Amino acid sequence: MSDFLMPSLGADMDEATLVEWDVKPGDRIKKGDVIAVVETAKGAIEVEVFEEGVVEELYVPVDTVVPVGQPIARLSGVETGAPEAAPPKPAPTVPEQPKPRAAKPEPPVKAPPTPSPEPEQIWERILATPLARKRARDTGTPLEQVRGSGPRGAILAGDLASRPDVNRPARERPSRTGFDPGEMRKAIAAAMARSKREIPHYYLAESIDMKTATDWLSDYNATRPPEQRLLMSVLVFRAVALAAREFPEMNGFHRDGYFEPSDAVHPGIAINLRGIGLITPALLNADQGSLADLMARLQDLTRRARRGGLRSSEMTNATLTITALGERGVESVYGVIYPPQVAILGFGKVTPKPWAVGDALAVRPVMQATLAADHRVSDGHRGGLFLARIAELLQHPDQLDRTPSVQPRQKETTP
C-alpha cells in the first residue's frame, strides 16, 4: 500500500484544487493513466500515476484545495495482474473493503417543458472548478450556458468571459483560454523572483549562420503538403536536445544543494497563451523520433497548452527550457532560469546580416542563440562549448532527422 500525494506541478505551485476524479476505489491503474484533474494558476492539468496498482481509497472530495505533498489517494501494488490479496484472517476480523466516497446524486432528468428547474440540480451536474462556480455566482452567469475549455469540458474561471458582465469593463474580462491572467502573472513573478534570488546566472550569446538550415528546410517543405511541413523551431529544438545529451550539466535539476543530471531530454517549450503569459510544458524526449514526429508532438502540445489540457508529466519533467521569440520580431532574448532547472536557451529571429565566408564578405541568414546557466553546476567554458555544439548541429540539418547514439562528452577538468 502507498499514498499518492498531490504532485508539485511547478516551482511556483503550493496548492491546487481537485476538480475531478477519473477513477474510483477498485479500479486498476497503470503507468501513465490519468486519475484526476486539478486546477492551478496555470489552468487545469491532468494528473498521471507512475506505477501500476489498484485504487484503494480516495481521500479528497472534489472541489477541495489540496496543498502539495498531501495524500489524496491510497494505492496498492499489482502482481501477476491481480490486486494484492489481504492476509488470511478469521472472517469476523477482516476489515471491510474501503468504499467509495459517496458521490453527489445525479439529478433526475427533466423534460424540456419543465419550467424553472432547480438551480442547484443544474450546478451539481456541471463539471466546473470552485473558482468558476464562485465567479458564476458573483456575476449571475448560468453555468449551463458556458462552454468549458478544460479537460473533458470542465468549466474554468476564464471561461466565464463567454458571457459578458455589464458591471465589468471589457478590458478587464478574463480570457477564454482557461487561465486566470492575474493568477498566472503572480505565479510567473514568484518563480522568477526566486530564480534571480537563489541562482547565480551567467549569460552567453552565439550568432549562428542559418543558411544551410534554411536551404534544407525550404527543400524539405517544397515537396510536402502544408500539414506535413516543418518549422525552423523544430530543427532548433532537436539540435538543443542532441547537444544536451552531450553536455549533461545543462540538462537536469539542482535540488537541496546537489545537481541531478537527467537521463532523458525534456525541454520545456515557452508557449504564448494569447497575451496572458507564458507556460513552459515539456516536449518529452525531444532527442528521439523523426523531425516529422517531433513537429506533430509540438503542435499537439501547443494546442493542449492553450486550451488547458496538459498532463502532470508535461508540467513537472522539463529538464531545461527553450524560449524562441523570433516570430515576435526579437533578435535576442536572455531568459531567467526556471528552478530547479539549471539552464534556459533563447533564440531570436533569423535575420540577413553581413557574414564572413572564408576571405569574402556575404549576406547570410543569421540567428542569435543565448544561454543563461547556473554557475553552481557549469561555467562559461562549458556553456560556450554547448552553444557551439548547437551551432554545429544546425549546419547538418539532414542529420537532425535521425536519432544517432551520442555519447556524453567527458567533462573537462581545469588544471
Distance CA 234, CA 287 (A): 11
Distance CA 66, CA 149 (A): 22
The pLDDT value recorded for residue 326 is: 76
The pLDDT value recorded for residue 171 is: 34
Location of C-alpha cell 552565439: 206
Q: Where in the chain is the domain with CATH 2.40.50.100?
A: 1-83+119-198
pLDDT 10s digits, 59-90: 999 888 899 889 999 998 744 333 343 444 44
Q: Kindly compute the dihedral angle of the four CA atoms of residues 218, 223, 226, 229, in this order, to the nearest 10 degrees.
A: -50
Overall CATH class of domain 200-400: alpha beta
DSSP 6: P
Answer yes or no: are the C-beta atoms of 55 and 100 closer than 8 Å. Answer: no
Q: For the chain, what is the mean pLDDT?
A: 79
Q: Where in the chain is the domain with CATH 3.30.559.10?
A: 200-400
Identity at 110, one-letter amino acid code: K
Domain made up of 1-83+119-198: CATH architecture: Beta Barrel (2.40)
Check pLDDT > 70 for residue 93: no
Distance CA 274, CA 19 (A): 24
The pLDDT value recorded for residue 90 is: 43
